[in-house]
């Protein structure tokens, strides 16, 4: 379950330091960076999120505390075998336009994050991964003033689930060499040693 309270606290904290990045976009950047082949660096991510901010005083401390919490929580969630990862987005009772815009910003952030995380725009990678990244680019351009009706709500929920699973798929493919299970024979001996 996404941490709705953290979303709103972080969005307010980022606004307080005049950051151009929203909470959804910051989370998308982080998830993209975590999907890369290397280790995501917390300091590098925070520097990216606060690049154009005026972070000083108590507002800056509060923002840094929330960003640190988000980094820890997201790192754990994306590595969780039970797939409990969720994109950080507004509450379900927020206007559909606000939620759609946040989802678009999340996807925009994710695409930036994967570039920062070392995944190039072209290269030898699975077709499924390219399709997800292409779809994320389309979602980033989503209409931010859709009509509020049951059909739109259903479409939004389906998009959120697609983004959630797509992010995990990208992470799985990008980290496959790093996370490859050991190859063992029937006796439990590592085959790569022979």
CATH number of the CATH domain containing 42 = 1.20.120.740
| Closest to 48 (Cα-Cα) out of 62, 72, 73, 31 | 31
Q: What pLDDT shows up at residue 188? A: 47
Q: Is the Cα torsion angle 161, 166, 32, 79 positive or negative in sign?
A: positive
**Over the stretch 65-106, which tens digit does the pLDDT of each residue have?**
999 999 999 999 998 888 889 999 999 889 999 999 999 999
Domain tally, the chain: 1
Residue 184 in any domain: the answer is no
Radius of gyration of the chain (CA): 18
The answer to whether position 127 is within a domain reads yes
The answer to whether the beta carbons of residues 43 and 121 sit under 8 Å apart is: no
- pLDDT at position 81 is 86
Let me know if residue 8 belongs to a domain: yes
In a domain, 75, yes or no: yes
Q: Tell me if 190 is assigned to some domain.
A: no
DSSP string, 11-73: HHHHHHTT-S--HHHHHHHHHHHHHSSSPPPHHHHHHHHTTT----HHHHHHHHHHHHHHHHH
Mention every residue, 6+ apart, whose C-beta is less than 8 A from residue 33.
40, 44, 45, 113, 114, 116, 117
Domain-located, residue 192: no
Whether 85 maps to a domain, the answer reads yes
What pLDDT, on the 0 to 100 scale, is given for residue 4? 77
What parts of the chain have a pLDDT lower than 50? 1, 177-194
Q: Is residue 185 part of a domain?
A: no
Query: Could you list the residue range(s) of the whole structural domain that residue 138 is in?
Result: 4-179
């Amino acid at each position: 379950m996404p941490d709705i309270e953290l979303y709103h606290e972080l969005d307010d904290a980022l606004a307080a330091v005049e950051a151009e990045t929203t909470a959804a976009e910051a989370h998308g950047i982080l998830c993209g960076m975590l999907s890369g082949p290397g280790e995501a660096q917390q300091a590098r991510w925070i520097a990216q999120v606060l690049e154009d901010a005026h972070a000083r005083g108590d507002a800056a401390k509060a923002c840094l505390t929330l960003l640190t919490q988000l980094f820890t929580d997201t790192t754990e969630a994306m590595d969780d075998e039970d797939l409990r990862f969720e994109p950080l987005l507004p509450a379900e009772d927020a206007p559909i336009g606000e939620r759609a815009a946040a989802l678009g910003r999340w996807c925009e952030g994710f695409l930036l994050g994967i570039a920062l995380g070392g995944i190039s725009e072209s290269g030898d990678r699975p077709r499924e991964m390219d399709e997800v990244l292409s779809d994320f680019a389309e979602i980033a351009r989503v209409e931010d003033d859709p009509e509020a009706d049951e059909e739109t709500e259903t479409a939004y929920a389906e998009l959120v689930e697609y983004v959630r699973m797509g992010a995990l798929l990208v992470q799985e493919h990008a980290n496959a060499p790093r996370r490859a299970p050991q190859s063992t024979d029937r006796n439990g001996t590592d085959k790569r040693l022979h």
